[in-house]
Amino acid sequence: MSTMNISLPETLKSFVDEQVSTRGYGTSSEYVRDLIRKDQDREKLRALLLEGANSEPGPPADKAYFDSLRARIGAAGKSDKKSKSPDRHGRA
């Protein structure tokens, strides 16, 4: 793992220390890594949202769409139950 040193004004350092102690982080490095991961996730989400906004519209999400979705999910759930073998007590 690489090391990076940062300088913070005392107010930001106090804030980080408080976050570490109150939010269950072991170290300030864990807190900063978590912030960076969340920022990466936010960037990925932003890219996906922009991609969706720039794409062609799909079919309307009307009652018929949700009815067909429920039917597909129901059929998939039934096939999953059939494929599970029962345990020694007869439970799937």
The answer to whether residues 23 and 45 belong to one domain is yes
Domain of residue 79, residue span: 59-92
Q: What is the pLDDT of residues 3-31, one digit of tens each?
A: 999 999 999 999 999 999 999 999 999 99
Read off the pTM. 0.61
Q: Are residues 78 and 65 in the same domain?
A: yes
Chain Cα centroid distance, residue 9:
32
Whether residues 39 and 69 fall in one domain: no
- E strands, 1-92, are none
The reply to whether 53 and 84 lie within a common domain is no
CA distance linking residue 6 with residue 11, whole number of Å: 14
- Residues 3, 21, single domain; the answer is yes
CA distance 86 to 39: 45
Which residues lie below 8 Å from residue 65, measured CB to CB, with a gap of 6+?
Answer: 59
| 46-92 confidence digits (pLDDT tens) | 999 999 999 999 888 999 999 999 999 998 877 766 666 566 556 55
Q: Are residues 80 and 51 in the same domain?
A: no
Amino acid present at 75: A
Split into its structural domains, the chain has a count of 2
